[in-house]
Homo-oligomer: A and B are copies of this chain.
Amino acid sequence: MVSTKRLSARNRPARENGSERRAELLAIAGELFATRGFLATTVRDIADAAGILSGSLYHHFDSKEAMVDEILREFLDDQRQANAKIIEEAPDPRTALTELIKRSYSALRKHPAAIAIFQNEANYLAQFERFDYLPGVADEFEKTWLRVLQEGQKAGVFREDLNLKLTYRFIRDTVWTTVHWFNPNGKLSIKSIADQYINILCDGIVTR
């Protein structure tokens, strides 16, 4: 039996967080992953966009996988923290729900690439050990939303005949999928999209 440990850490310069150039490269990679897809983006594409050679990328990152990993983790951590804060501070379920929605929409501004990647590639990436955490995070998000919906139902604010898991999925799908068509330079602001959606979700589209 030979040890299969992958020591490899020959020289480990800017590979830990910190460097500015690193962050820049991550942003470039993220945008490519988001628009072309993770597999369709080659390390040469990333290097070209950054104006360096592909080999040079490995000065900053261990692998292509490590890049997506970092992009996703940053977004997910941020989102998780924000959700927890909302749950803690919201005075009532309806406020909590609208705040969760608003916060999710505003994440589109801060992490557009990460959201697109999470949406498009989570399924594919989940097959690798490195991304074992992905299903867990999705589950945690669902639990958070469900709790708010349940409390609202108990309080009589949300209709009793709702299938809450289904309701959550409708909301989640609508909000996150926005990343595929939202244009930061277009007429519609994130805020107006969020407001309109909250409005429709709460009161429906039919006149009364």
Task: Give A residues with C-beta under 8 Å from B.
Answer: 35-37, 39-40, 94, 120, 123-124, 156-160, 162-163, 166-167, 169-170, 173-174, 177-178, 180-181, 188, 192-193, 196-197, 200-207
Contact = CB atoms under 8 A, between A and B. Distances in A.
Contacts of A160: 207
**Copies of the protein in its oligomer:** 2
A163 B37 contact: no
Contacts of A39: 37, 39-40
A200 B124 contact: no
A193 B173 contact: no
B37 A124 contact: yes
Contacts of A94: 206
Centre residue among A36, A37, A174, A205 by max chain B CB count within 10 A: A205
Contacts of A200: 162, 167, 170, 201, 204
Nearest to A158: B205
A181 B169 CA distance: 9
B207 A159 contact: yes
B196 A202 contact: no
A169 B188 CA distance: 13
Given A37-B124, A170-B197, A200-B204, 11 more contacts: A36-B124, A37-B39, A39-B39, A123-B180, A157-B206, A158-B206, A163-B188, A170-B174, A170-B200, A174-B174, A177-B177
Contacts of A167: 196, 200, 205
A68 B167 CA distance: 33
A158 B199 CA distance: 13
Contacts of A188: 163, 166
B207 A205 contact: no
7 contacts: A35-B123, A120-B120, A159-B206, A160-B207, A163-B192, A170-B174, A173-B174
Given A37-B124, A170-B174, A177-B177, A204 B202 contact: yes
B201 A124 contact: no
Nearest to A165: B188
